[in-house]
């Protein structure tokens, strides 16, 4: 079999066979094909799209490219995945809250880093002193999963093909393709042994999917492919134009996650955590309805069990017990990296908040060090923004509606102008839209 022939076949819009896809994936992991050929293959798949059969075949090949986690069969293995957005810290409080609400679940979350305007869960967690995204090997992952029941980690052992292809997709502008996105997500979930999955599909100006219609097309294909591979999935379409919560930035989002775990987070973050958790509990037949599942999540957030579970998870993942305790029960901000400089940004006029441009805020934070423009770039965990308003709020002129945290000695004033322009005001009363747009599963796909 020849990689050049395979690339040529796809360029001619021919459907690739499982053998051809397996060959491409194996050669990618083994390093026996050129980087140019990987890029050419991705571009051929991107431009000519992938059939469901190709998506299925490539997903299996990628999942089988590394080790597979096999937890004890008596427990239900569940997970959540997000297509990414600004201020998306949902996974951090969700995992311990869900585990605290239902102890017999196993939640092996293999997460990722931020790239572009989206923030990475692992980057946020690594702002906690001592936390390392890759501190556990395969045997340790199995052991913690079976004994403790949850973790949030990065792993090069699981679907290594995805790690290689994701980096290649970023530098070849082949990120936003439905088939390639689905193979990336589901291959990791298959390798982690997931049986039930909720996909948080972000829709809006600060996401990969700008319209509900294109999100529906993706969601329907996603649940079909997942079902064929033995994963019961459900897609929640959620709004992503303005940031989730009140904070954007790595340390700041950990601070907000701790508040959520204490039952004191912003309402939109709580809605997402409670709703996604409620769906997973209902899907696994632990409760009779999503509403009952949501109530279970609310209880774990309010009674302290979710926070304690988070603390124990950090300790399992090599964070010093004293640091974990101070982070959760003491002076949280004192534990986390904080910026040297703080600048208040005031409203230039009075009015109701009509929109908050999440992309603009994220790009400013990225350029100041909170995000990365290439994969191995270091980030500054202390950089970020604190928003004091949400859509629909009324703000008076000269009142502070945003604070920028940064470490620049000589800050470019353009950044302040961009942040001020990110909030649009109007004289008309604005009614906020529900953050949950709709649900897609096998019954309505």
399: left (phi over 0), alpha (psi -120 to 50) or beta: beta
pLDDT reading at 153 higher than 80: yes
- 92 within 8 A of 124, measured Cβ to Cβ: yes
Provide the pLDDT for residue 432: 93
Provide the pLDDT for residue 118: 53
pLDDT reading at 113 higher than 90: no
What does the chain come to in residues?
445
For 115-129, 284-298, 421-435, which range has the lowest pLDDT when averaged over its residues? 115-129
- 191 within 8 A of 154, measured Cβ to Cβ: no
Nearest CA to 41 out of 161, 181, 168 is that of 168
Task: Report helix, strand or coil for 430.
Answer: coil
- 27 within 8 A of 165, measured Cβ to Cβ: no
- 336 within 8 A of 128, measured Cβ to Cβ: yes
DSSP state letters, 335-348? HS---SEEEEEE-S
pLDDT reading at 174 higher than 80: yes
Angle at 356 between CA 350 and CA 361, to 5 degrees: 115
Choose, from 81, 99, 202, 234, the residue flagged as catalytic. Answer: 81
What's the whole-number mean pLDDT along residues 29-50? 95
Choose, from 65, 155, 163, 184, the residue flagged as catalytic. Answer: 184
Provide the pLDDT for residue 119: 60
What domains are there in the chain, each with its CATH number?
3-48 (no CATH), 76-329+436-440 (3.40.1030.10), 341-426 (3.90.1170.30)
pLDDT reading at 373 higher than 80: no
Would you place residue 172 in the very low, low, confident or very high pLDDT band (cuts 50, 70, 90)?
confident
Q: Is 169 an active-site residue?
A: yes
Provide the pLDDT for residue 54: 97
* Cross-sheet strand order for the sheet of 341-346: 247-248, 384-387, 400-406, 341-346
pLDDT reading at 424 higher than 90: yes
pTM for the full model?
0.94
Which has more pLDDT, 135 or 337? Answer: 337
Q: Is 188 an active-site residue?
A: yes
Choose, from 99, 169, 234, 294, the residue flagged as catalytic. Answer: 169
What's the whole-number mean pLDDT along residues 110-114? 77
Mean pLDDT of the chain: 93
Dihedral sign from CA coordinates of 166, 379, 268, 131: positive
Provide the pLDDT for residue 108: 95
Choose, from 188, 294, 386, 406, the residue flagged as catalytic. Answer: 188
Q: Is 81 an active-site residue?
A: yes
The runs of H, that is alpha helices, within 156-266 are 160-171, 178-191, 212-228, 250-261
Choose, from 79, 88, 162, 200, the residue flagged as catalytic. Answer: 162
Q: What is the pLDDT of residues 66-105, one digit of tens each?
A: 999 999 866 799 999 998 889 999 999 999 999 999 999 9
pLDDT reading at 117 higher than 60: no
pLDDT reading at 40 higher than 90: yes
Q: Is 241 an active-site residue?
A: no
pLDDT reading at 115 higher than 70: no
In angstroms, the CA 214 to CA 198 distance is: 18
Q: Is 398 an active-site residue?
A: no
- 355 within 8 A of 241, measured Cβ to Cβ: yes
In angstroms, the CA 118 to CA 366 distance is: 9
């Amino acid at each position: 079999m020849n990689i050049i022939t395979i690339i040529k076949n796809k360029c001619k819009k021919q459907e690739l066979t499982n053998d051809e896809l397996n060959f491409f994936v194996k050669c990618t992991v083994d390093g026996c094909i050129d980087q140019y050929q990987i890029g050419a293959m991705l571009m051929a798949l991107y431009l000519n799209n992938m059939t469901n059969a190709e998506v299925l075949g490539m997903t299996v090949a990628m999942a089988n490219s590394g080790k597979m986690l096999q937890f004890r069969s008596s427990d239900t293995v569940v997970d959540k995945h997000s297509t990414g957005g600004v201020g998306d810290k949902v996974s951090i409080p969700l995992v311990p809250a869900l585990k605290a609400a239902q102890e017999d679940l196993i939640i092996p979350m293999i997460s990722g880093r931020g790239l572009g305007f989206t923030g990475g869960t692992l980057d946020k967690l690594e702002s906690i002193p001592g936390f390392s995204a890759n501190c556990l090997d395969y045997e340790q992952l199995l052991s913690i999963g079976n004994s403790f029941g949850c973790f949030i980690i990065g792993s090069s052992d699981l679907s290594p093909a995805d790690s290689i292809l994701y980096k290649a997709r970023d530098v070849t502008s082949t990120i936003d393709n439905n088939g390639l996105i689905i193979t990336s997500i589901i291959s990791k979930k298959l390798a982690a042994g997931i049986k039930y999955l909720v996909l948080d599909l972000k829709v809006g100006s600060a996401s990969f999917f700008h319209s509900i219609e294109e999100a529906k097309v993706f969601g329907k294909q996603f649940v079909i492919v997942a079902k064929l591979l033995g994963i019961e999935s459900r897609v929640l379409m959620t709004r992503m134009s303005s940031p989730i919560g009140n904070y954007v930035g790595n340390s700041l989002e950990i601070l907000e996650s701790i508040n959520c775990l204490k039952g004191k987070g912003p309402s939109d973050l709580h809605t997402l955590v409670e709703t996604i958790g409620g769906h997973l509990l209902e899907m696994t037949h632990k409760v009779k309805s999503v509403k009952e599942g949501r109530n279970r999540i609310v209880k774990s957030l309010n009674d302290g069990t979710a926070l304690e579970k988070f603390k124990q998870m950090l300790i399992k993942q090599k964070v010093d017990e004293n640091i974990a305790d101070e982070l959760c029960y003491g002076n949280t901000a004192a534990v986390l990296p904080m910026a040297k400089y703080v600048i208040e940004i005031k409203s230039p006029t009075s009015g109701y908040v009509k929109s908050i441009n999440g992309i603009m805020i994220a790009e400013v934070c990225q350029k100041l060090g909170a995000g990365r423009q290439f994969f191995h770039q270091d980030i500054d965990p202390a950089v970020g923004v604190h928003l004091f308003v949400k859509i629909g709020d009324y703000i008076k002129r000269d009142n502070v509606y945003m604070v920028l945290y940064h470490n620049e000695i000589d800050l470019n004033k353009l950044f302040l102008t961009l942040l001020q322009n990110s909030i649009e005001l109007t004289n008309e009363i604005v009614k906020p839209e529900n953050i949950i747009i709709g649900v897609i599963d096998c019954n309505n796909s």
